[in-house]
Amino acid sequence: MRWVYIELKGWHGKILWIDLSKREYKEARYPLEWAMDYIGGRGLAVRILWEYLPRGIDPLSPENLFILAVGPLTGLTLPSSGKMVVASKSPLTGGYGDGNIGSWAAVELRRAGYDAVVFKGRSSKPVVTVIEDSKVEFRDADDLWGLDTWETERRLKEEYGKQAGILEIGPAGENRVRFATVISQEGRSGGRPGMGAVMGSKNLKAVVIRGTGDFNLFDPKRVKEEGSKAYMDVVRSKSYKFWMRQGTMMTVDWAQEASVLPAYNFREGVFEGFKGIDGYRMEELKIGQRGCPKCNMVCGNMIKDAEDQVSELDYENVAMLGSNIGLDDLRRVGVLNRLADMLGLDTISLGSVLGWAAEASEKKHIDYKVEWGDYEAFYSLVKEIAYRETGIGNLLAEGVRGACLKVGKDSCDYAIHAKGLEVSAYDCHAAPGMALAYATSPIGAHHKDAWVISWEVATNRFSYDRGKAAKVIELQRIRGGLFESFVACRFPWVEVGLSLDYYPKLLTYATGVKYDWNKLYEVADRIYTLIRAFWIREAGGWSRDYDMPPVRWLKEPLTKGPLAGARLDIDSYNSLLNHYYDLRGWDNRGVPRRSTLERLKLDFVVNELDKIVGLTE
Ligand code: PTT
Ligand code: SF4
């Protein structure tokens, strides 16, 4: 195929390729079509992985690619644009993995003149990669290896200045814990499906980025005017004041009220101690807030934790390390949360493996004693996991799916994951739409692609109708398809109601390409379908079992709260899944149809998928 290269505004059109084995780098232009058809961020990342990742490799081998990708809206003067995608083949799930992290590294990468950086190979010893505009240096990192993320970033800031954007891993990433994340700015964490472990497997302790260039925009004046208006709309919104008080922590009370607050390893959707960990309790302890660059609604709420240190709280962290493990003291939850940030562990997966361990201990499926709410035992387990020092630490470092497969004895019946990624903090015994959102999320069970639960609870909660599948797809398009590819934070829209209409306009001003919703939805569908093709390729086959929710929600009803007795119905779930597949143009195995691939300009995957699974028309 002959590719045309980018001469457009809004993108730089360049990828920086870094070979850590050889300590070499080069910059390369990428095809114009990739920008047009995938926009950037997640879209660009999956296109790169499809094209360049050797088939079937071990995600922790040097062959894996570790990608940082921004989009045309990243870092601009518009609300909450300081975000970037970190992506790779996941060591936790074996499929496509990514996360969205707020960091100055996102802004600096755009200033440095790249749309993405791709790392391959493995350094023979610990290294920090330093990108300064078009120059790359490899700084030995023996002195940093073993340090926690906060200390690593502090030392690198001393060396490279306060303006530098820095992404790093902690001991968990170094030790290849399968749910280790990438950390920045002490409380930003990205890449739930083990992106930190991939960095660790490459001996890449940190990436430092500084750039001095401009954003190469089509109409910078209109971007600024429109972006400034959007900032004002954020501040003037009705929900702004309360958001600034509680941020995502307001969700604890809502989740309790709606019976979706995970408790005791997702056995229940209500928690008797919720008042000890809710947004109002957080307000009593709050000492400040911080967040990502370019944001005027910063959501990282800081408290002094039980060890008198600063911990930055979010709903997911608190529910998973609080109610899900039976802990009702926010200052103690704060300690576990801070440890996760410093060691570089994903809090959601961590809360899930701790919950699984408590249940396995209770059922005597493992020879280890840890009880619900046992803070000291959980505290020690967090460290044992990050350092993989002990038998139990090593076991839990594999994630719930890996751990239950090793332990056996029905312990997979209470391993709460989809496709190997631990479920985030919404119980779905009584929320079929959210269960579908988790089960079909392109990275495994994360809420980020379709947080349909608030709509579901407020509407026809117990139905499994076609409209629900359509709603999941609508949200996946906007959240997982678009915000992840033009790359900005979705909270201005989700949480304070910023009009979505800003985004096509801003994209058009930034790039000069006319965007409307039809065009954007087509991009989103293309990205979703390519990610599905990538999963099938890497799994070497496919069946609808991959798109099923955790067994617990189907088999074991809730026993507490107003919805006691509720559970998902398997036949109805299957019919909901059929609607979903049909609306996406996938067959009843969850494999994209040939006609869908062709309509979405994904002809280049047809032959390979056909050989693996046999495509339907
Ligand atoms: C995100 C996931 C979330 S989603 C939370 S809380 W949330 C957890 N936060 C963690 C943390 O903190 N420390 C830690 N060690 N592990 C953590 N794991 C969990 O990670 C995050 C915010 C949040 S807070 C959310 S919903 C929104 N997510 C966005 C998204 O996905 N895309 C997008 N375009 N905008 C988003 N805005 C919001 O960003 P992952 P961050 Mg995160 C302490 O990365 O892998 O997607 O996992 O990036 O900068 O911390 O911002 O109630
Ligand atoms: Fe970051 Fe929160 Fe601001 Fe979004 S709202 S950009 S997650 S600080």
Please write the tens of the pLDDT for every residue from 564-585: 999 999 999 999 999 999 999 9
Please write the tens of the pLDDT for every residue from 61-97: 999 999 999 999 999 999 999 999 999 999 999 999 9
The CB of 80 under 6 Å from ligand 2? The reply is: yes
CA-proximal residue: ligand 2, atom 1 (nearest): 292
Please write the tens of the pLDDT for every residue from 450-464: 999 999 999 989 999
- Name the residue of 448, 484, 491, 498 to mutate for ligand 1: max ligand atoms within 8 A of Cβ: 448
The CB of 346 under 6 Å from ligand 1? The reply is: yes
Please report which confidence band the pLDDT of residue 389 belongs to, taking 50, 70 and 90 as the band edges.
confident
Interatomic CA distance for residues 191 and 235, integer angstroms: 29
CA of 190 to the centre of ligand 1 (A): 6
Please write the tens of the pLDDT for every residue from 586-606: 999 999 999 999 999 999 999
Residue 219's contacts (CB-CB under 8 Å, 6 or more residues apart) are: 509, 510, 512
Q: What residues pair up with 87 in beta bridges, in sequence order?
A: 67, 98
pLDDT at 4: 55
pLDDT at 189: 97
Please write the tens of the pLDDT for every residue from 31-43: 989 999 999 999 9
**Mean pLDDT within 106-135:** 98
Q: Which of 367, 364, 261, 365 is CA-nearest to residue 321? A: 261
CA of 103 to the centre of ligand 2 (A): 10
**Mean pLDDT within 402-428:** 97
| Cβ atoms 104, 163 nearer than 8 A | yes
- The domain 14-210 is classified under which CATH number: 3.60.110.10, 3.40.630.10, 3.30.360.10, 3.60.9.10? 3.60.9.10
Q: How far is CA 192 from the centre of its chain?
A: 5
Task: State yes or no: pLDDT of 218 exceeds 70.
Answer: yes
Q: Is the pTM of this model over 0.85?
A: yes
Question: Of ligand 2's atoms, which has the minimum distance to the CA of residue 293?
Answer: 6
| Cβ atoms 180, 173 nearer than 8 A | yes
- Name the residue of 195, 339, 489, 527 to mutate for ligand 1: max ligand atoms within 8 A of Cβ: 489
Under DSSP, the state recorded for 54 is P
Task: Enter the tokens of residue 169.
Answer: 């891993």
| Cβ atoms 67, 182 nearer than 8 A | no
| Cβ atoms 488, 78 nearer than 8 A | yes
pLDDT at 396: 98
Question: Of ligand 2's atoms, which has the minimum distance to the CA of residue 81?
Answer: 6
pLDDT at 8: 80
Q: Which of 214, 213, 217 is CA-nearest to residue 9? A: 217
Number of Cβ atoms within 10 Å of the Cβ of 236? 9
The CB of 448 under 6 Å from ligand 1? The reply is: yes
CA-proximal residue: ligand 2, atom 4 (nearest): 489
CA of 491 to the centre of ligand 2 (A): 7
Percent pLDDT > 70 in the chain is 99
**Mean pLDDT within 138-151:** 98
- Name the residue of 297, 451, 484, 494 to mutate for ligand 2: max ligand atoms within 8 A of Cβ: 297
Q: What residues pair up with 24 in beta bridges, in sequence order?
A: 19
Interatomic CA distance for residues 453 and 469, integer angstroms: 12
| Cβ atoms 223, 506 nearer than 8 A | yes
The CB of 191 under 6 Å from ligand 1? The reply is: yes
pLDDT at 5: 53
Interatomic CA distance for residues 560 and 271, integer angstroms: 9
CA of 317 to the centre of ligand 1 (A): 9
Among positive and negative, which fits the CA dihedral 426, 328, 177, 182?
A: positive
Among positive and negative, which fits the CA dihedral 597, 598, 601, 607?
A: positive
The CB of 491 under 6 Å from ligand 2? The reply is: yes
Task: State yes or no: pLDDT of 222 exceeds 60.
Answer: yes
At 340, phi and psi to the nearest 5? -60, -45
Q: Where are the domains of the chain?
A: 14-210
Q: What is the DSSP string of 458-516?
A: HS-TT---HHHHHHHHHHIIIIIIIIIIII--SHHHHHH---TTHHHHHHHHHHS----
The CB of 291 under 6 Å from ligand 2? The reply is: yes
The CB of 490 under 6 Å from ligand 1? The reply is: yes
pLDDT at 2: 53
Average pLDDT of the chain to the nearest whole number: 97
Task: State yes or no: pLDDT of 1 exceeds 60.
Answer: no
Using a 10 angstrom Cβ sphere, with 0-12 exposed, 13-18 middle and 19 or more buried, the burial of residue 408 is exposed
Strands 310-313 and 300-304: antiparallel
Task: State yes or no: pLDDT of 350 exceeds 70.
Answer: yes
Please write the tens of the pLDDT for every residue from 179-200: 999 999 998 999 999 999 999 9
* Amino acid sitting at position 275: K
The CB of 491 under 6 Å from ligand 1? The reply is: yes
Among positive and negative, which fits the CA dihedral 379, 202, 70, 522?
A: negative
Interatomic CA distance for residues 489 and 100, integer angstroms: 8
At 399, phi and psi to the nearest 5? 85, 170
- The CA-based diameter of the chain, rounded to the nearest angstrom, is 65
Which ligand has an atom closest to residue 321 CA?
Answer: 1
Using a 10 angstrom Cβ sphere, with 0-12 exposed, 13-18 middle and 19 or more buried, the burial of residue 448 is buried
- Name the residue of 73, 231, 239, 298 to mutate for ligand 2: max ligand atoms within 8 A of Cβ: 298
Please write the tens of the pLDDT for every residue from 94-103: 999 999 999 9
Question: Of ligand 1's atoms, which has the minimum distance to the CA of residue 291?
Answer: 49
Q: How far is CA 380 from the centre of its chain?
A: 26
Number of Cβ atoms within 10 Å of the Cβ of 287? 10
Task: State yes or no: pLDDT of 7 exceeds 80.
Answer: no
